[in-house]
């Protein structure tokens, strides 16, 4: 290499560390949100699938009940036809009375079955409509899942790789940061909403917008030591390349 170069100062390293930590945190949250979305899609499909199966069972049971009633109704109607024919041939008064009574009972039975069957037809219709609706919704959820799942899985994979890389990078930086500064950084990070190092611009702390005392400001610009903002207790970082004009 050759030429002049300066090693990054501790505060520069902490700035880099914080950048890596912020990316790590954002990527970790994005992975969690993608995985959450995937789980939601799966769960919505599963629940709809259970509801559709239940509707199918109901529909099928009603179909069985309809066929059963139709069969019994047909038997009763044939029987009544037969008994009515018989009535015309009976000459004995007592037998005629019994036969007519039987016809009346059959008529009653048929009327009951017909009204029952009417109800079942209505239930079958309602169940069929419900089932068709649920099947449509299930298909919609399957399509939605299919459309999103691949992209979500790709995102999770891609971010997972980035997270691995950043963890390595984090370890690398940590290896060069002073131990006590590192623990102080971690402490401030957890207490101050994920921002431990802030820039000072135009003599103002960018973390809390308070003016830094002039003497401290001069010390910060020397970049030799890590100073804390007297107001928000964050580590202060001065960037010489930033404009001081405005």
15 vs 229 by CB, closer to Zn ion:
229
Interface segment toward Zn ion; rule CB under 5 A; list 79-87, 106-114, 166-174, 222-230: 222-230
Asked if 99 touches Zn ion (CB under 5 A), the answer is: no
159 vs 198 by CB, closer to Zn ion:
198
Asked if 119 touches Zn ion (CB under 5 A), the answer is: no
Asked if 229 touches Zn ion (CB under 5 A), the answer is: yes
Please state the closest distance from residue 208 (CB atom) to Zn ion, in A.
Answer: 3
67 to 71, 72, 107, 117, 131: CA distances (angstroms): 6, 9, 20, 9, 19
Among 23, 30, 130, 232, binds Zn ion (CB under 5 A): 232
Please state the closest distance from residue 148 (CB atom) to Zn ion, in A.
Answer: 42
Please state the closest distance from residue 16 (CB atom) to Zn ion, in A.
Answer: 20
Interface segment toward Zn ion; rule CB under 5 A; list 114-122, 137-145, 183-191, 228-236: 228-236
165 vs 192 by CB, closer to Zn ion:
192
Of 201-220, binders to Zn ion (CB under 5 A) are 205, 207-208
Which positions lie near Zn ion, rule CB under 5 A? Answer: 205, 207-208, 229, 231-232
């Amino acid at each position: 290499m050759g030429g002049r170069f300066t090693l990054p100062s501790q505060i520069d390293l902490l700035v880099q560390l914080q950048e890596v930590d912020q990316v790590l945190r954002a990527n970790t949250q994005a992975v969690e949100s993608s995985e959450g979305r995937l789980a939601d899609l799966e769960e919505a499909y599963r629940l709809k699938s259970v509801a559709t199966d239940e509707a199918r069972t109901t529909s099928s049971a009603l179909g069985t009940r309809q066929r059963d009633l139709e069969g019994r109704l047909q038997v009763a109607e044939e029987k009544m036809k037969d008994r009515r024919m018989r009535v015309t041939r009976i000459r004995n008064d007592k037998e005629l009375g019994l036969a007519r009574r039987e016809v009346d009972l059959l008529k009653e039975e048929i009327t009951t079955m017909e009204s029952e069957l009417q109800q079942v037809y209505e239930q079958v219709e309602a169940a069929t409509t419900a089932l068709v609706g649920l099947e449509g919704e299930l298909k919609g959820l399957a399509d939605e899942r299919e459309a999103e799942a691949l992209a979500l899985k790709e995102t999770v994979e891609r971010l997972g790789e980035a997270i691995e890389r950043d963890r390595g990078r984090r370890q690398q930086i940590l290896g060069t940061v002073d131990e006590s500064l590192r623990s102080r950084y971690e402490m401030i990070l957890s207490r101050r909403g994920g921002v431990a190092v802030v820039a000072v611009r135009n003599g103002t702390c960018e973390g809390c917008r308070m003016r830094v005392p002039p003497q401290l400001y001069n010390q910060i610009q020397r970049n030799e030591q890590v100073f804390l903002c007297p107001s928000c207790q964050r580590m202060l970082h001065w960037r010489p390349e930033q404009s001081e004009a405005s």
